[in-house]
Amino acid sequence: MGNNSDMGFRWSNCLLIDILCSEFGHEKVHQALRFKHHYQAFKRENPRLVSDSFNTLSFQWQIGRSREYLESLAEEVQYSIICYLAENYINDKTRADCVANEV
């Protein structure tokens, strides 16, 4: 696994990353983002596993048990979900910024 320092986004200024760090722990979130290409590849190879785990995590988050659920998953699934959450936030934010700039 190579180091992925070219993330194209300032993670330190990201509210979602702060939320994820608060919920799941600073080290776990930064480990996922540090090697995000590896975990993205894992997600592509195991889309059903990551998708089902993500959906269950969403429910567990609503009832206040997200950390316990995430920690019950295999490490690569945990990190893949964290990367997935971060990617979705960045993609949504980029789209919203583009729309705001068009107006």
Report the pLDDT averaged over residues 43-49.
94
Q: What predicted TM-score, i.e. pTM, was given to this entire model?
A: 0.73
Q: Residue 86's pLDDT band (boundaries 50, 70, 90)?
A: confident
Which of 10-14, 73-77, 78-82 is the least confident region?
A: 10-14
Element (H, E) at 18: helix 15-24
* pLDDT above 90 coverage of the chain, percent: 56
What φ, ψ does residue 7 adopt, rounded to 5°?
-95, -15
* pLDDT, position 94: 55
